[in-house]
Amino acid sequence: MSDDFLATHGFGAAQRVPLPGDAGFRRYTRLTGGPRPALLVEDPEHLDAFLRIAGHIAAIGLSAPEVLAEDRARNLLLIEDLGEATHAMLLDAGADPAPLYAEAVEALAGLHAEPPPAGLPRWDGAAMARTAAATFLDWWWPAAFGAMPDAAQRAALDTAIRAMMAPFENAGAFVHRDFFPANLIRIPTRDGARRTGILDFQDAALGHPAYDLVSLIEDARRDVAPAIRSASIARYLALRPTLDATEFHAAMAACAAQRHLRVAALWVRLERRDGKPHYLPHGPRCWALLEAALAHDTTAPLRNFLDTHVPRALRGNPPALRIDAA
């Protein structure tokens, strides 16, 4: 379907190498031998959002892939290929994590400091409750309990997450929503915050900036050393001195509790619905991060919900899907 699109823009003879898929439905193909290094993106869901947000990131002086060509009718894009040196790949290869996380935080602070683009959806308590229910109640719950939750249980989770997030509703910052090493790429020819290329930003929304820092330093897919975590928080707050540190730490705990509950259950949905069991080993890490977040006073509404409805023995991958931690 994309042959004529590629030919029109000079990539008809380029070699094509499909890139490994992730948890979503986008497909990426690396193109070599064309006019310049590029990726073909096939995205049936978020093409308009990708274009709008890529333009915003570039306009505020940060690095996102340049859009080379587009065909909205067929959900096709040609974008700049920023290379293969994602932060995740570099960390997996043994790179020193300290400079990578420092660079990531610098880019993140720059992303949050600028006014967000128009038209972003809200990432508020209502949205966070809805997305948590879509994984935790709709997929994790029946896998763990053998039955769907009832209406009262659904209402209780909705109330708990909304109450937990209520103190942080008015932040209104740009939130990437998946700011973690696999979506960041080192560009050694660029300086400062532009050294970090930002990828997969099409789900961005308006919310509290603490959510993105949690995504980075409480990574669902890899362990992050406590020293790196502490240094990253300190660096972020130093780069954004107008923030209230106490409020920010409380927001981090609330965002972490919602994110880890949602993502721990997302792995179950990916196994059950999409036939992707290879994400399940991340479940124990997410549950451990959730328990740590629940120690903060601001997460009391969600902690009380779980204490009432979910026995501690079940807080992990559902028994039938138990896999050792990654």
The average pLDDT across 116-133 equals 97
Tokens 């308590």 correspond to 125
Asked if residue 324 has pLDDT above 60, the reply is no
Together in a domain, 190 and 41: no
pLDDT at 217: 98
Whether residues 152 and 275 fall in one domain: yes
Measure the CA angle with vertex 114, ends 214 and 60; round to 5°.
110
Enumerate residues 6+ apart whose C-beta is below 8 A from 173.
112, 116, 206, 207, 208, 209
Do 272 and 206 share a structural domain? yes
User: Considering 80, 104, 134, which residue would you say is the last residue of a domain?
Assistant: 80
Cα 294 to Cα 299: distance, rounded to the nearest angstrom: 5
Q: What is the reported pLDDT for 24?
A: 62
The confidence score (pLDDT) of residue 133 equals: 98
15 and 64 share a domain? yes
Rounded Cα gap, residues 38 and 32, in angstroms = 7
For 219-277, how does the pLDDT look when each residue is reduced to its tens digit (9 = 90+)? Answer: 999 999 999 999 999 999 999 999 999 999 999 999 999 999 999 999 999 999 999 99
Domain count, the chain: 2
Residue type, 38: A
Cβ(68)–Cβ(79) below 8 Å: yes
- Give the CATH number for residue 17: 3.30.200.20
Q: How many Å separate Cα 192 from the centre of its chain?
A: 23
- Residue 326 located in a structural domain: no
Q: Give me the sign of the Cα torsion angle 7, 11, 13, 15.
A: negative
Residue that has been written with the tokens 């996102």 in this structure: 64
Say which residue, 91 or 1, is predicted with more confidence. 91
Distance CA 221, CA 321 (A): 18
Could you read off the pLDDT of 49-79 as tens digits, one per residue?
999 999 999 999 999 999 999 999 999 999 9
Mean pLDDT score across all residues of the chain? 95
How would residue 22 be classed by pLDDT, with cut points 50, 70 and 90? low
For residues 165 and 208, membership in a common domain is answered with yes
pLDDT at 38 (0 to 100): 96
pLDDT band at 325; cut points 50, 70, 90? very low
Predicted local confidence at residue 44, as pLDDT:
79
Residue 16 carries which side chain, given as an amino acid letter?
R
* Domain, as residue range, for 50: 3-80
Residues 36, 263: Cα–Cα separation, whole Å: 37
- Considering 45, 80, 115, which residue would you say is the last residue of a domain? 80
168 and 213: one domain? Answer: yes
In this prediction, residue 25 carries a pLDDT of: 72
Task: For residue 121, tell me if it sits in a domain.
Answer: yes
48 in a domain, yes or no? yes
Considering the domain boundaries, does residue 254 fall inside one?
Answer: yes
Domain stops at, among 27, 58, 80: 80
Co-location of 96 and 49 in the same domain: no
Considering the domain architecture, whether residues 189 and 219 belong to the same structural domain is answered as yes
pLDDT in tens, 169-199: 989 999 999 999 999 999 999 999 999 999 9
Tell me which residue has tokens 């990828």: 199
What pLDDT is stored for residue 323 in this prediction? 62
184-186 and 196-198 beta bridge pairing: antiparallel
Query: 151 and 74 share a domain?
Result: no
Q: Please report which confidence band the pLDDT of residue 320 belongs to, taking 50, 70 and 90 as the band edges.
A: confident
What is residue 46's predicted lDDT score, i.e. its pLDDT?
82
Q: Is residue 231 a part of any domain in this protein?
A: yes
Per-residue pLDDT, 31: 96
39 shares its domain with 147: no
Which residues are CB-contacts of 56 (< 8 A; sequence separation ≥ 6)? 116, 117, 174
pLDDT digits (tens, 9 = 90+) for 196-231: 999 999 999 999 999 999 999 999 999 999 999 999
Put residue 149 in one of left, alpha, beta given phi > 0 → left and psi -120 to 50 → alpha: beta
Same domain for 72 and 93?
A: no
Interhelix angle for 283-293 vs 245-274, to 10°? 150
- What pLDDT, on the 0 to 100 scale, is given for residue 1? 60
User: pLDDT tens digit string along 283-315?
Assistant: 999 999 999 999 999 999 999 999 999 999 999
Same domain, 50 and 105: no
CA distances from 124 to 6, 173, 259 (A): 40, 11, 12
The 3-class secondary structure across the chain, one letter per residue, is: CCHHHHHHCCCCCCEEEECCCCCCCCEEEEEECCCCCEEEEECCCCHHHHHHHHHHHHHCCCECCCEEEEEHHHCEEEEECCCCCEHHHHHHCCCCHHHHHHHHHHHHHHHHHCCCCCCCCECCHHHHHHHHHHHHHHHHHHHHHCCCCCHHHHHHHHHHHHHHHHHHCCCCEEECCCCCHHHEEECCCCCHHHHEEECCCCCCEEECCHHHHHHHHCCCCCCCCHHHHHHHHHHHHHHCCCCCHHHHHHHHHHHHHHHHHHHHHHHHHHHHHHCCHHHHHHHHHHHHHHHHHCCCHHHHHHHHHHHHHCCHHHCCCCHHHCCCCC
